[in-house]
Amino acid sequence: MKTMAEYREHFPIFKNTVYINSCSYAALSNEVENAFLEYLKDRHEVGADWINWCDRLERVRALFAKLLGAKADEIAVTTSASASLSAISSSLDFSGTRKKIITTDLAFPTEAQAWHALKKHGAEVVHVKEKNGMIDLDDLERLVDDQTLLVAVPLVCYRNGALADVPSIRNIARSAGAMILVDAYQGVGAVPIDVEQWDVDFIVGGSLKYLLSTAGVGFLYVREGLIEQSQPTQTGWFAQEDIHAMLIHDNIPARNARRFEQGTPSVPNLYAVEAGLTMILEIGVKNIRAHVAALNERLKEGVNRIGGKLMSPENPEHHGAMITIASNDEYGLVAKLAENDIIASSRDGNLRISAHFYNNNHDIDAVIGALEANKSLLA
């Protein structure tokens, strides 16, 4: 296998820039760029190539399944995590006694908004508090009861990088007979996921962050035993058992997780996603996790040394790839880093530094140096 330094050479942005913003959008590889060019070539030469495009969709489905340790039939390929959440929302039944949906104060807005939109159908939405920047498991246990339909948590919080204890959360939800959903977008590709070990009901995510590709493609994992009893009403022709039947007098959903899909897939982006997922699987998420963990320890030590305040949990087992640093002017600090050709981002008053396998010690040292030079912008 290539070294991480060799893989770095596949990303032209590092010739002139320290790109350390994968929590927002991945750096662009030559492979993903070439995939987009391949799509344009196919459009010029073939025009409409539906057989190839449908085959590519199934290859992407298989790659997502391999990434999660799932079966291909448990994967829906959607246009975004939001589309995945909407499909799940439309499948929930509030006619019984279970009307409570539990989300968290660490949720990404789309996830929480999806549940609050269901109040018109009788849903009761409650939020688990955070404790020391993480999900308060005691509060979760207090809230979960026999009226709980679904517990939804982020794998990694987009604001501070906190990593959820999925097995403990699952056990609390299962003890009351509730379903559990994990929003893995901020972790997938950087944190290993194994659906058999997790034993959750739904996982949503997308491809533009640590999966190296682009907006326009998301995924949804649905536990096999839940699929046929789920009846999503947000649907489309690609959700049908036979997409070529062109039914207009009935709705016959696929017997697998495709029933959670909707309309025509985002064809150009399937090319890019296939390229990005192929590279991630080639490197291995466990290898990525180990590489980034070493970089993050170097970063945390440097931030502490210059007197910065870390907002992510100190324990490396309690955060994902993203490390956050308190700032009194988050946008000003991002701008100052950009003046030094360092690309980062911010949320909720915190600077977000998110390394991936293509980053190295030089990048981390450049960040620490820029932070030290702009200590007046650190909280």
- Please state, in angstroms and rounded to a whole number, the distance separating the CA atoms of residues 94 and 117: 13
- Mean pLDDT confidence for 336-355: 97
**If DSSP codes are grouped into helix, strand and coil, which group holds residue 216?**
coil
- Mean pLDDT confidence for 36-61: 97
Tell the residue number behind the tokens 């955060």, with chain if given: 319
> Distance from first CA to last CA of the chain, Å, rounded?
42
The tens digit of pLDDT for each residue in 221-252 reads: 999 999 999 999 999 999 999 998 999 999 99
pLDDT at 70: 98
The tens digit of pLDDT for each residue in 280-320 reads: 999 999 999 999 999 999 999 999 999 999 999 999 999 99
pTM of the model: 0.97
Burial 67-98 (b: 16+ CB within 10 A, else e): bbebebbbbbbbbbbbbbbbbbbbbbebeeeb
Residue (of 92, 255, 82, 96) closest to 185 by Cα position: 82
Q: Which CATH class is domain 4-28+284-377?
A: alpha beta
pLDDT at 210: 98
Query: What percentage of the chain exceeds 70 in pLDDT?
Result: 100
- Please state, in angstroms and rounded to a whole number, the distance separating the CA atoms of residues 73 and 63: 12
CB-based contact 118:147 (threshold 8 Å) = no
CB-based contact 286:217 (threshold 8 Å) = no
CB-based contact 303:318 (threshold 8 Å) = no
Radius of gyration of the chain (CA): 21
Tell the residue number behind the tokens 């409409």, with chain if given: 48
pLDDT at 112: 96
- Please state, in angstroms and rounded to a whole number, the distance separating the CA atoms of residues 206 and 268: 15
Query: What percentage of the chain exceeds 90 in pLDDT?
Result: 99
pLDDT at 1: 79
Q: Which CATH class is domain 32-281?
A: alpha beta
Residue 375: is its pLDDT beyond 90?
yes
Domain ranges of the chain: 4-28+284-377, 32-281
Phi, psi of 41 (to 5 degrees): -60, -45
Tell the residue number behind the tokens 């609390």, with chain if given: 172
Q: Which two tokens mark 155?
A: 């794998």
CA distances from 11 to 7, 8, 19, 226, 234 (A): 8, 6, 10, 40, 38
Beta strands in the chain (DSSP E): 18-19, 75-78, 100-104, 124-128, 130-131, 134-135, 148-154, 179-183, 202-206, 218-222, 322-326, 342-343, 345-347, 350-354
pLDDT at 92: 97
Q: How many Cβ atoms sit within 10 Å of the Cβ of residue 315?
A: 9
For residue 134, what pLDDT band results from cuts at 50, 70 and 90? very high
